[in-house]
Structures are given as structure tokens and as C-alpha cells.
Structure 1
Amino acid sequence: SGRPFGFVDEALAARSRQRRVVITVNQFFTAGRVVATTDLLTVLPRHFLSATGMEDELAISELPLAVPEVHVDTLWHRQRQHDAAHRWLREAVSRSAARSGLQSTDTIGP
């Protein structure tokens, strides 16, 4: 999200711990690239690694604490609800999420 405080910080605070944030970005890919070129680390969804093309540059490890599930919505302008190209893109995103093993609800609309 680009915010310096989030669900990871909440989970750490519950254990009376905190992290030192030195940079924020609003894209997973950018976070991966920053980590691949510095001595920093980040928290990203596991399925993201295979989509980055950076598998050989990044190491992955389970978080040592429980964090809540992240919910992401798809939003679009009502005027585009029945637009064929828009519908195609929404369906493509849904198929991609399903292939990644992500749980999906019907966000395609009528």
C-alpha cells in the first residue's frame, strides 16, 4: 500500500515488537526489486515470487508470526460494467488468481 504501518506491524505490536521501516513502495514488484538490490527485506504474498522473474535473486521464508489474511477487491466504473474489453480483463485477472491458488469470489459482476 505504500503505508509505513500495516497488518505486519499490528502482529508485531501484539508481541511488543516493531520493525524499522526505511522505505515504502506501493507495488509488490518494486518491493521485490528493492530487496533484490539491497540488504533490506520485505513481506510479500508467497505466490508473488513466481510472477516476478526474480526467483534466483530472492530467498523466501515463512513469517515467524501469524498475520491476518489480506483481502483485495476489484473495482471499476459502473459505466464499464458491460464493456467487452473490461469484462475480458476482469475475467483474465480472475483466472490468473485461480491459477495462483488464490481464493476468489465472483467479482466479475453481471
Structure 2
Amino acid sequence: MAKEEILEKVKEIMNAPSCYEGLKKVCEAYLKAAGTADEKEAALTLKKELKEDVCSIDQVIPFFESEEGATVLGADTAKGLAKAAHEAKAKGVKYCICPACTAGGWLLNHESEW
């Protein structure tokens, strides 16, 4: 795997509308440390954060189907996301389908390579 792929996925997470501020800062720190003596430590911090923040498909489906999900996302959006999440799960998708979790899940799946 090329280093560029990792950096691109980190940027995808950071720029995703679904990325919260804390994860965004950890991504920024990793990108700043890339290619320096601090990269290994920044990578460990990012991996730890991804393990805490990236949701599984099984975590998000109940939220999308809940009253809280309908309130937060809007009823139609929540219903559409629930349908899309069920379809993704049926295809074997392991992580939440939002852009941040999709890219974060990719990094977690390749964790030993970076």
C-alpha cells in the first residue's frame, strides 16, 4: 500500500461533514507529522482515535431507525440512511456508511500496513 493512499484516506476523514472536531484535530496532527520523526506516535494516536470513533454498521442501524435518529437527521433522511445501511450490511459492509467512518474503516482494515 502506498503512503499516498493512507494520506488520502486521512484527508477524506478530516474533510467529511460527518467528522467531529476531535477526530479532525487528530487527523490534522497526523498529516502534519507525516514524514517526520513524530509520525509513528501520531499514527498510534490516530489509530486509537479511529478505534474509538468509527462506528460499526450494527451500531448505526438502530440509531438511523430510532426516534432520536429521526429527530437529529430528519425523518426522511434517517429512513433513507437506515435502508442504505441495511443494504450495505447485506453486502458485507462492516462500518458505518458515512464518509468519515467509511474512510476510517478502510484505515482500520489496513492498520498493520501503516
Does TM, scored on the shorter chain, surpass 0.5?
Answer: no
TM-score, length basis structure 2: 0.28
Question: Over alpha carbons, which structure has the higher Rg?
Answer: 1
**Larger RCO: 1 or 2 (CA < 8 Å, sep 6+):** 2
Relative to its length, the structure with more helix (as a share) is 2
